Amino acid sequence: MDKSDISSLTVRDLDLFIEDRQILKNINLVIPNNKITCIVGPSGCGKSTLLKTLNRLIDDTDGVRYSGEILIGGKNILAASGPDLIELRRHIGLVPQRPCPLPMSIYENVAYGCRIHGLCKNKKQMNEVVENYLTEVGLWEEVKDRLNSPAGKLSIGQQQRLCLARSLAVRPEFILADEATSALDPVSSKIIEDLFVKLKEKYTIIMVTHTLRQALRIADHAAFIYFGEIVESGDAVKVFKNPEKDLTRKYLAGVFS
pTM: 0.90
- What's the rounded Cα separation, in Å, for the pair 17 and 24? 7
Give the per-residue pLDDT at 17: 97
- Asked if residue 212 and residue 191 are part of one domain, the reply reads yes
- 5-14, 33-42, 56-65, 188-197: least confident range: 5-14
DSSP β-bridge partners for residue 29: 11
- Asked if residue 180 and residue 166 are part of one domain, the reply reads no
Give the per-residue pLDDT at 176: 95
- Asked if residue 130 and residue 5 are part of one domain, the reply reads no
Q: Are 50 and 233 in contact (CB under 8 A)?
A: no
Q: Which CATH number goes with the domain that contains 240?
A: 3.40.50.300
Task: Provide the domain limits for residue 136.
Answer: 96-171
- Asked if residue 178 and residue 251 are part of one domain, the reply reads yes
Kindly report, residue by residue over 139-182, the tens digit of the pLDDT: 999 999 999 999 999 999 999 999 999 999 998 999 999 998 88
- Asked if residue 77 and residue 141 are part of one domain, the reply reads no
* Closest by CA position to 159, among listed 106, 93, 205, 90: 106
- Asked if residue 129 and residue 190 are part of one domain, the reply reads no
Final residue before a domain boundary, out of 139, 171, 203? 171
- Asked if residue 115 and residue 209 are part of one domain, the reply reads no
- Asked if residue 180 and residue 148 are part of one domain, the reply reads no
* Per-residue DSSP letter, 178: E
pLDDT confidence tier of residue 2, bands split at 50, 70 and 90: very low
Q: Are 168 and 198 in contact (CB under 8 A)?
A: no
- What's the rounded Cα separation, in Å, for the pair 172 and 196? 14
Decide if pLDDT at 11 tops 70. Answer: yes
Final residue before a domain boundary, out of 171, 188, 205? 171
Count of structural domains within the chain: 2
- Asked if residue 153 and residue 184 are part of one domain, the reply reads no
- Asked if residue 204 and residue 123 are part of one domain, the reply reads no
Final residue before a domain boundary, out of 111, 142, 171? 171
